Each structure stands twice: as structure tokens, then as C-alpha cells.
């Protein structure tokens, strides 16, 4: 029997595929059932999709979850889904200039509140929002707080009213909603026509692997990233006695720990994740 794969791979999700499709391809290539991605991308979007394989799926909750995107917004129109896949519901003849956009973007930096698109997978009363939308049913959508760390203009074509934005944001931010809300602030409407995720936590676009370049299990294994390379927590190296305790589920004292999560290693390999609770170390996940 082949050794189980353990780690994450930085996939470039192509346009037209769902995140689940990517996982299915990797399961077929590797024969591993325990595979999960760390952040859904809409089918029309493309870019960075970190995928955890094997026991690394148990580490998803500890991975950095900030994101960065390059989104292209078409001004002058609005759609039902806030993106190119929806039906056009508003058309405006208003033409905006760069100064108008720069002023409007001030409303979208820092901590903001946004309504998620009605065509989204967020659940309300046990049903996904898009299920309500498809049936034409009314449902209350609550504002969500998100943080926009960086929002800047990469390009603007005044003639075509096409705007390209760079957005560095917290988990749960809907770029489609930013496009729609920006259009509303400008008074002309707007919707997303292209979206590329360029960063997800410690995974960057330049280091991503094209799905079509993966033909075999060995190809996947070659691009696996060991968890210690992307977990942003303090590390503590166990000695032999401490390793034995941890392997039996017994917590060990960690000198000079300031709280939060600590990655425990043994001979440079991941052994466990420990968490400080009430100034005492508690084992959260054990891998030895």
C-alpha cells in the first residue's frame, strides 16, 4: 500500500470549474478520499485554491484565511447575481471618471458591512440563499462585517467604463457585493465580469499549479507543501519524553508560551497542535 499523502497543494482553479470539481480531480489522481479545499471560488472565478490532502485536512481551521483578488467591474449595468452570470436588471447612461471612483472607494476600506448576494450559498433558516432566489421567495438577508485591508485601482478604461481593482480582504468578503455596491454609490450600477484570486493565506498566485499539469499521483506529491511551511504559529520542539506523552494524548508544559496555538514538532516534523487555555496547554490535534 502506498504511503498516505500529507500536505497541501496550491492549485490554480480554472474558470468554469467548481471548487468541488477540483477536489474530485485530485481524489481521482491520488486515490485519497480525505481531501478538502480551504475557500470556495465561484465557477466563473479563477486563481488560488489551497487544497489539503490526507490528515492535513485536520489543519484547515488553523490556516490563515485572508484573501486577495483582482476583480474587473463593468460599470453602467447591474445584474441579479452581481456578476456576469446574472440577468441584467439595470442599465445607466451615466459615465463616471477616475476621480469619481477614487472618492467612492473611500466607502469600502477598513471594516465595512455588506449584504451577501442573494445568489450565494449562505444559509438562512436551513436553506441556501440561491435556493430562495431561484424560487422567487423573499428572505431577510443580514449585513455582514468584513475587513478590506487594501483596495486600489489597477486600471480604468473610461470609454468602456471597465474598472480593475485589487482587493486584499478578510474571509467572507464578497467581491461581487463590492462591485454592486460601488455601482450603487456611483449611481450607475456595476457588476463583476472577471475575478482572479491572487492570494489565500500563505498561498500566492505565482506559486500555484495548473490543474491540467497534474497527470499522476506523483505529480501531486511533487507539489505538496508540508504544513510547517504555512502554519503561522510559534513552534516548540519536543524531546523524546515529551513526544511519548503527546503520542498518548498527554499535554506537555511549554516554556514561555504567550497563549494561542503552538505547533509541536518532533525531529522537525509536525507532531501536534496545542492550545493554551486558562494558562494551561491543551492538545487540540495529534499527528503522531
pLDDT 10s digits, 5-35: 999 999 999 999 999 999 999 999 999 999 9
Same domain, 189 and 132: yes
Q: How far apart are the first and last CA of the chain?
A: 19
Same domain, 178 and 87: yes
The Cα 23–Cα 26 span in angstroms is: 5
Look at residues 232, 251, 235 and name the one whose alpha carbon lies nearest to residue 243: 251
Average pLDDT score, the chain: 92
At 69 the pLDDT is: 98
At 118 the pLDDT is: 74
List the beta bridge partners of residue 88: 79
CATH number, domain containing residue 51? 3.30.2350.10
Mean pLDDT computed over 153-182: 97
At 25 the pLDDT is: 98
Same domain, 60 and 71: no
Query: For residue range 93-143, what is the model confidence (pLDDT) as tens digits?
Result: 999 999 999 999 999 999 999 988 876 666 766 766 667 656 676 677 788
Quote the domain boundaries for residue 144.
67-196
C-alpha cell at 158: 473610461
At 1 the pLDDT is: 35
Q: Which of 32-46, 203-217, 224-238, 247-261 is the least confident region?
A: 247-261
At 121 the pLDDT is: 66
Structural domain count, the chain: 3
Same domain, 247 and 225: no
Same domain, 51 and 155: no
- If one compares 259 and 160, the residue with the highest pLDDT of the two is 160
Q: What percent of the chain has pLDDT over 70?
A: 91
14 located within any domain: yes
Query: For residue range 33-63, what is the model confidence (pLDDT) as tens digits?
Result: 999 999 889 889 999 999 999 999 999 999 9
Single out the catalytic residue among 3, 21, 42, 213. 42
Look at residues 218, 225, 211 and name the one whose alpha carbon lies nearest to residue 25: 211
Same domain, 135 and 81: yes
Same domain, 273 and 182: no
For the question of residue 42 being annotated catalytic, the response is: yes
At 254 the pLDDT is: 84
Amino acid at each position: 500500500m502506498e504511503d498516505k499523502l500529507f500536505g497541501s497543494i496550491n492549485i490554480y482553479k480554472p474558470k468554469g470549474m467548481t471548487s468541488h470539481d477540483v477536489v474530485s480531480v485530485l481524489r481521482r489522481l491520488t486515490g485519497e478520499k480525505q481531501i478538502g479545499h480551504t475557500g470556495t471560488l465561484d465557477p466563473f472565478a479563477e486563481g488560488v485554491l489551497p487544497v489539503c490532502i490526507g490528515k492535513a485536512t485536520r489543519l484547515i481551521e488553523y490556516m490563515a484565511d485572508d484573501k486577495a483578488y483582482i476583480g474587473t467591474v463593468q460599470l453602467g449595468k447591474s445584474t441579479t447575481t452581481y456578476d456576469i452570470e446574472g440577468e441584467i436588471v439595470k442599465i445607466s447612461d451615466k459615465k463616471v471618471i477616475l476621480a469619481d471612483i477614487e472618492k467612492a472607494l473611500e466607502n469600502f476600506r477598513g471594516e465595512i458591512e455588506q449584504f451577501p448576494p442573494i445568489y450565494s450559498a449562505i444559509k438562512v433558516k436551513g436553506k441556501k440563499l440561491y435556493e430562495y432566489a431561484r424560487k422567487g421567495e423573499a428572505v431577510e438577508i443580514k449585513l455582514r462585517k468584513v475587513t478590506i485591508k487594501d483596495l486600489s485601482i489597477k486600471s480604468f478604461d473610461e470609454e468602456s467604463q471597465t474598472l480593475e481593482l485589487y482587493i486584499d480582504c478578510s474571509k467572507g468578503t464578497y467581491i461581487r457585493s463590492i462591485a454592486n455596491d460601488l455601482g450603487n454609490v456611483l449611481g450607475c450600477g456595476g457588476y463583476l465580469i472577471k475575478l482572479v484570486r491572487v492570494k489565500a493565506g500563505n498561498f500566492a498566485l505565482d506559486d500555484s499549479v495548473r490543474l491540467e499539469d497534474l497527470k499522476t499521483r506523483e505529480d501531486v506529491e511533487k507539489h505538496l507543501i508540508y504544513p510547517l511551511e504555512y502554519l503561522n504559529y510559534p513552534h516548540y520542539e519536543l524531546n523524546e519524553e515529551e513526544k511519548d506523552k503527546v503520542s498518548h494524548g498527554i499535554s506537555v508544559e511549554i516554556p514561555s508560551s504567550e497563549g494561542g496555538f503552538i505547533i509541536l514538532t518532533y525531529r522537525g516534523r509536525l507532531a501536534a497542535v496545542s492550545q493554551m487555555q486558562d494558562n494551561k496547554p491543551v492538545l487540540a490535534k495529534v499527528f503522531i
